[in-house]
Amino acid sequence: MPERLSAHTYYRASCSPDTYPALSGARECAVCIIGAGFAGLGTAMSLAERGERDVVVLEAEEVGHGASGRNGGFVFGGFSLGERALQRSAGRSARRLYGDTLAAVNLIRKRIARHEIDCDVQESGVILANWFDDDRILLEQQRFMAEHMGVEWRHIGRAELADQLRTTRYRGGLFEPDAFHFHPLRYAQGLARTLARQGVAIHEHSRVTGLKRTQGGWLVSTGHGTVSAREVVVCCGGYLASLHRRLRAAILPIATYVMSTEPLGERLASSIRTRAAVYDTRFAFDYYRVLPDTRLLWGGRISILHRSPRAVARLLYGDMLRVYPQLAGLRVEHAWSGLMSYARHKMPQVGRLPDGLWYGMGFGGHGVAPTTLAGELLGGALTGEPGPLRQYARWGLPWTGGPAGLAAAQATYWYYGLRDLLRR
């Protein structure tokens, strides 16, 4: 496999981030947010937009270090829990809950425009490509989304899709026009820059080492400082580690893999003739999109295993050639993995523990809009509007089973992968 791997993700290599000082000494604030990913920054933005800017954001690494700065960059509606399963779980509330994520997509658009965030926005929609030779999959999904979720996805016939995606792997598709894709790390950095201008304190390289309830709120400790806060919000996802035992027990940190190629230039037309982002109908699907300089960003696979960049590149290069064999010889320049946090029920975990600690996590592999939604729910609840947040309390924090749960998750992924292979 041709490769010239960078030491950084494509996202990190293609931006010049601002830097924020580590926390030093003691300070006080109204709200302390732990984690500077989409959920944490979204909560801070929601608070700032509601007039509460006495906020401190603590990040163990750098802004957008976790899944928020490593994902595929797809911005569209829905949760990790599929729409039919959402309807089974939430009943008549499902349409409203799905609508919450569509509102979050539009809120992301508004924030990008309002704050002039340069994050390579591509308003080209998203295509769900059918991996299987069964047209009913798409037609039933199209009908379900229109009747039960109130959205119109356009059916793309086999010949039309083959003209856009030059592969024999797909059997038609569905086009979601209101979706877009972007550079997620630049977006996170843009949110942080906006918050800093508005007076919110952001501290990188400030790993929280202690979290203690006090009479007036909370004492949050890092290696070189402390924050006394009336309220604390934990938004750490797959990178929660040992910060909080109760929250850690409710998530599974699952890895996914991403790579980016060298620029394709004119060669791009031999494979992909659309700027829409693409994913397919398998359980563990490929997802990919064309970057502004004609690179191809390709992601996929779900695993509990951490793999080196070289191993990730080998796996995804093979996946890419399975769809587009004409790209053989294309050089891979970046490859990376990242941890997502999954709940057993695959819905976001957003709420407040009995001791008063707020949390937002469990966004799985479909998190850009739901993390923004979580920020709105938490920001509203922290400023006296708890109603919308209560809609998500039904899913709670069920135990994921620890190491046995991880092993069971891996076995589940293997099972569904085998099922898709046999179905093909």
What b/e readout covers 278-303, taking b as 16+ CB neighbours within 10 angstroms? bbbbbebbbbbbbbeebbbbbbbbbb
Mean pLDDT of the region 59-75: 96
Provide the residue ranges of all domains of the chain, joining segments of one domain with +: 19-71+185-251+344-412
Q: Give the pLDDT score at 150.
A: 96
Tell me, what DSSP letter sits at residue 267? G
Using pLDDT thresholds of 50, 70 and 90, give the confidence band for residue 152.
Answer: very high
Give the homologous superfamily in CATH for domain 19-71+185-251+344-412: FAD/NAD(P)-binding domain (3.50.50.60)
Residue with more model confidence, 328 or 239:
328
Residue with more model confidence, 173 or 410:
173
Q: Give the pLDDT score at 415.
A: 55
Q: What is the DSSP string of 65-94?
A: -SGGGTS--EE-S--SS-HHHHHHHHGGGH
Instruction: Say if strands 287-290 and 225-234 run parallel, antiparallel, or are unpaired.
Output: unpaired
Q: Give the pLDDT score at 241.
A: 79
Mean pLDDT check: name the lowest of 230-239, 256-265, 344-353, 405-414.
405-414
Q: Give the pLDDT score at 380.
A: 97
Mean pLDDT of the region 317-340: 95
Contact 220, 210 (CB under 8 A): yes
Q: Chain-wide mean pLDDT for the chain? A: 93
Mean pLDDT of the region 222-237: 96
CA 233 to chain centre: 19
Mean pLDDT of the region 29-42: 98
Instruction: Please write the tens of the pLDDT for every residue from 83-129.
Output: 999 999 999 999 999 999 999 999 999 999 999 999 999 999 999 99
Q: Give the pLDDT score at 17.
A: 83
Collapsing DSSP states into helix, strand and coil, what is residue 115? coil
Instruction: Please write the tens of the pLDDT for every residue from 289-304.
Output: 999 999 999 999 877 7
Instruction: Please write the tens of the pLDDT for every residue from 384-394.
Output: 999 999 999 89
User: Residue 421: is its pLDDT beyond 90?
Assistant: no
Mean pLDDT of the region 143-160: 97
What b/e readout covers 12-34, taking b as 16+ CB neighbours within 10 angstroms? bebbebeebeebeeeeebbbbbb
CA 416 to chain centre: 22
Collapsing DSSP states into helix, strand and coil, what is residue 341? strand
Q: Give the pLDDT score at 398.
A: 84
Residue with more model confidence, 253 or 403:
253
